[in-house]
């Protein structure tokens, strides 16, 4: 290797190796979990050990969105827009109970009951808020996913396939709720949603 060494590897492997060890998360804070995300970036937990310390303020430069905190219906169009603006390949970690399912605020009228109704999610990190170690574990799961991702075939990432879209529709503000209330391509209600009147 040191003189005229030749390293034989597959293209997919070196491609995945490269991107798994240099993740640029989006600097994006929604609520309580954002403080824990900052702690992860700080000296004690130090996300830099995993090659993901460069938090970018611009979605164009980021490839990992850490959805940290309660997504409200008023915030949702911005969140989906940020996700659309991120360049592929991109991944999404949902951090905490609120973003996964609404969490303690699930019964709120202005709370999105899980961001997976609008954008695709790769890793869910439970907790309210999750410990920093849990977020690091989530990041390692993302890295694992990146390393094992084939570049061809039906399991190939979105942006290599023709049958998928990378743009997700941005809902609009309606008179009582978001329109549409969920992205029907990503999420199907387990039972028909009943609008009960009083």
Partner 1 sequence: METLEQIRDRIVAKFGADTVTLITNPGPSAQHSLLLVAHAARDIARFLHDDPALRLDYCSNATGVDWPDKEIVETVKTTQPDPAGGPDKVVETKTKRIQPGCLEAVYHLYSIALKSAEPVIIRMRTANRTDDVTLPSLTPVWRSCEFQEREIYDLYGIVFTGHPDLRRILMWDEFKDHPMRKDYVGPDDYEWEPTPHGEVLERAKAHYPTPPASTSPKSEE
Partner 2 sequence: MNNASTSSAPTTANATEAEAPVSPFPLHSSPFGPSSASGATVRAVNDEFHGDLLEISLGPHHPSTHGVFRMNAALDGEIVTKLKPVFGYLHRNHEKLGETNSYLANVPYTDRLDYLASLTNNWAYVHAVEKLAGITPTERCEYLRVILGELGRIINHVCLVGFLLNDLGTSFTPLLYSLRERERMLDLLEELTGARMMYNFFRFGGLRTDVSADWLARLKHYLEGLFARYLDEQDALLTGNEILLARTQGTGILKPDLAINAGFTGPGLRASGVDYDIRKVDKYSIYDRFDFRVPLGEHGDTYDRFMMRMLEMRESVKIILQAMRDLPDGPVNDPKAKSRGLRPKAGEAYGRIECPKGELGFYLISDGTPNPYRYRVRPPSFINLTILEDLCLGQTLADTIIILGSIDIVLGEVDR
The residues binding partner 2 (CB under 8 A) are 27-32, 34-36, 38-39, 41-44, 57, 69-70, 72, 74-75, 78, 82, 98, 104-105, 107-111, 128-129, 131
Q: DSSP 3-state assignment of 12?
A: helix
Residues 6+ apart with CB under 8 A from 122: 91, 92, 93, 141, 142, 145
**182: partner contacted, choices partner 1, partner 2, none (Cβ within 5-8 A by kind):** partner 1
Single residue of 12, 38, 106, 168 touching partner 1 by CB under 8 A: 106
Tokens of 67: 């959805």
Strand order in the sheet with 91-95: 64-68, 91-95, 123-125
The stretch near partner 1 (CB under 8 A) out of 12-20, 49-57, 118-126, 181-189 is 181-189
At its nearest, how many Å lie between partner 2 and the CB of residue 17? 28
Classify residue 62 by its DSSP letter.
-
**How many Å separate Cα 50 from the centre of its chain?**
17
Which residue carries 């995945």 as its tokens? 16
* 74/161 with CB nearer partner 1: 74
Tokens of 80: 């989906």
First to last CA, the chain: 75
Task: State the binding partner of 119 from partner 1, partner 2, none, CB within 5 to 8 A by kind.
Answer: none
Helix residue ranges, H only, 125-171: 132-147
CA gyration radius, the chain: 18
Contacts with partner 1, 107-136, as mask; x by CB under 8 A: xxxx--x-----------------------
Site string for partner 1, 39-78 (x = CB under 8 A): ----------------------------------xx----
Q: How many residues bind partner 1 (CB under 8 A)?
A: 26
The residue from 22, 35, 174, 185 that contacts partner 1 (CB under 8 A) is: 174
Q: Does 104 bind partner 1 (CB under 8 A)?
A: no
Phi, psi (5° rounding) for residue 93? -105, 130
- Would you tell me which residues interact with partner 1 (CB under 8 A)? 73-74, 102, 106-110, 113, 173-177, 181-182, 189-198
């Amino acid at each position: 290797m040191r003189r005229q060494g030749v390293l034989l590897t597959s293209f997919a492997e070196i491609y995945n190796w490269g991107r798994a060890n240099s993740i640029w998360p989006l600097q994006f804070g929604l609520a309580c979990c954002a403080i824990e995300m900052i702690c992860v970036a700080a000296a004690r937990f130090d996300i830099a050990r995993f090659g993901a310390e460069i938090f970018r303020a611009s979605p164009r430069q980021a490839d990992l969105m850490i959805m940290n905190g309660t997504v409200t219906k008023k915030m949702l169009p911005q969140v989906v827009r940020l996700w659309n603006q991120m360049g592929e390949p991109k991944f999404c970690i949902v951090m905490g109970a609120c973003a996964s399912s609404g969490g303690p605020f699930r019964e709120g009228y202005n709370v999105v009951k899980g961001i997976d109704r609008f954008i695709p999610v790769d890793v869910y990190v439970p907790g309210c808020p999750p410990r920093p170690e849990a977020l690091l574990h989530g990041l390692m799961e993302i890295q694992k996913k990146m390393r094992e991702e084939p570049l061809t075939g039906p399991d190939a990432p979105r942006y290599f396939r023709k049958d998928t879209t990378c743009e997700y529709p941005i809902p609009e503000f309606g008179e009582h709720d978001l329109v549409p209330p969920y992205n029907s391509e990503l999420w199907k209600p387990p039972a028909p949603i009943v609008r009960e009147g009083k």
